[in-house]
Amino acid sequence: MQIYINGEYFSKEDARISVFDHGLLYGDGVFEGIRIYHKRVFRLERHLQRLYRSARYINLDIGITPEELSAAVLEVCRRNALSDGYIRLIVTRGTGTLGLSPKSCPKPTLIIIVDKLAIYSPEKYENGLKVLTVSTRRNIVDALDPQLKTLNYLNNILASIEAGRSDFDEALMLNSQGFVAEAAADNIFVIRDQRLSTPATYLGALPGITREAILEIAPQIGLETCETHLTLADIYNADECFLTGTAAEVIPVSKLDGRLIGTGKAGPVTKQIIEKFHQMTQAEGTPF
């Protein structure tokens, strides 16, 4: 494995950043998780657009252009020679002092890691996940906008810990108003009466790249789509429910808070969407 750090390549054992890096000290930075399918990077441009939007929000100058960063990502992929895998692209504020102010950080730290990733077993994609609605609420927009993909992930981690302690696979987070926002690591969709619904991003959902792809796929199989307010009752009474994310891809939900969703397994429409998504990943992507 070769890891890119600020224009240089290191082995996994030798890849290091300073303990004074503000990404480590304060979670000050942004990141993207990107998938490789069949020696192509899936929706690289869309991921980079989101990365630069997040960086602009936190007033972080990445230091290179999107075109230069795209070239760097593809070169790291070539060096690691994986046909299928996962890319973690990280930009931190950089090395500074122990003080909170980013003024002490003269330049950012740019890291690109390519590796394999499988977060759920194959049977989970058939039998679905057990999900718990947790007490940890999604960050409010005027504190830290959840539409940004920053290194400060404690909100999601606390939700994940809460679900894990009760032996659930994933956590469902509500926003401060009690509407469904998203899972700890994924977006959520429900299907009812040939309508596909997902929480609007202004309610606390990340504008996921896989989420975007599913909203494109749905009309192809006759589904009406809706980005809206969802309550727990909407999910409890759904015909089918699934989560989406770069790492998880598309995975069904079989139970929420002990309540069976649909048949308790991947439903027929969810299976159609999964098949269509796999077809999309075989056809799209930036080759390296």
Q: Where in the sequence numbering do the catalytic residues fall?
A: 149
Distance CA 138, CA 126 (A): 28
Q: b vs e for 136-159, b when ≥16 Cβ sit within 10 Å of the residue's Cβ?
A: bbbbeeeeebbbbbbbbeebbeeb
> At 35, which helix (H) or strand (E)?
strand 29-37
Task: Give the Cα separation of 46 and 112 in Å (integer).
Answer: 17
Tokens at 19, concatenated: 């303990």
| d(C-alpha 2, C-alpha 257), whole Å | 42
Scanning the structure block, which residue is given the tokens 């075989």?
282
Name the token pair of 3.
């890891």
* DSSP strand pairing (224-228 vs 240-245): unpaired
Distance CA 119, CA 273 (A): 20
- State the SS3 of 61-89: CCCCCHHHHHHHHHHHHHHHCCCCEEEEE
d(CA 261, CA 157): 25
Contacts of 184 (CB under 8 A, 6+ apart): 134, 156, 157, 159, 160, 163, 170, 171, 173
